[in-house]
A and B are shown apart, each in its own frame.
Chain A
Amino acid sequence: DAKTTQPPSMDCAEGRAANLPCNHSTISGNEYVYWYRQIHSQGPQYIIHGLKNNETNEMASLIITEDRKSSTLILPHATLRDTAVYYCIVRSDSSYKLIFGSGTRLLVRP
């Protein structure tokens, strides 16, 4: 599975959009981009995933560039409860394990 690169930390104001970037320049055609987050003292939680089209669900939006070498997770109206470590993971459909990097620590400020 391709390696991902994320900034170690970010912050945003409560109520504003949080845009979390991820680089995955070596992604292959059959590899998906997944996002998980981990709130303090909890296990990771699935957020969203995509292959090449932009995706949106009740939690977030995922924007994948046309060349698929990078993506952005968007939390449209961040709340204090969104403070967590966010992991961008690239995984092929034939791979069952998740390979986590160090993630981005997002701090939502009141």
Chain B
Amino acid sequence: GAGVSQSPRYKVAKRGQDVALRCDPISGHVSLFWYQQALGQGPEFLTYFQNEAQLDKSGLPSDRFFAERPEGSVSTLKIQRTQQEDSAVYLCASSFPRDSITYEQYFGPGTRLTVT
């Protein structure tokens, strides 16, 4: 079946430009996550949605980062006035509601953002 998809796969932005990264989670998945992965590092948590509610945005690095999921399915991560330090792979993951036993997150392929 279809997995998590992300678009675009690659994005080059000039410093100062705004970008929008899209995530299509697996159909029916309630939870959605965004992670940022710098080169050579493990992914770092950015934000978490349960349906349309953003329950945790503690990992967003600055107020230039904004995420939304207005209808509880597709999500968009927006970065305003991009800086070179924003260059990274942005990963989206989704999961079923968690139960007490398993909590597997399914990841998309990521969007590689390069800010020049």
Contacts and interface: CB of A to CB of B under 8 A. Distances in A.
B100 interface: yes
Interface residues of B, number: 25
- Main SS at interface, chain A: loop
B65 interface: no
B104 interface: yes
A26 B74 CA distance: 37
Contact of B105 (A41, A46, A85, A102): A46
A10 interface: no
Contacts of A100: 35, 42-44
B45 interface: yes
Given A41-B109, A42-B109, A44-B91, A49 B102 contact: yes
Contacts of B48: 96-97
- Kindly name the residue among B44, B45, B105 whose own CB sees the greatest number of chain A CB atoms within 10 A: B105
B109 A98 contact: no
Nearest to A42: B109
A101 interface: yes
A44 B98 CA distance: 19
Contact of A43 (B4, B44, B103): B4
Which residue, of A41, A43, A96, has the highest number of chain B Cβ atoms within 10 A? A43
Interface residues of A, number: 19
A43 B91 CA distance: 7
A96 B43 contact: no
A45 B31 contact: no
B56 interface: yes
Nearest to A98: B105
Q: Residue among A85, A97, A102 with the most chain B CB within 10 A?
A: A97
A75 B11 CA distance: 35
A98 B93 CA distance: 11
A98 to B, nearest CB: 6
A93 B59 CA distance: 20
Interface in A25-63: 41-46, 49
B104 A46 contact: yes
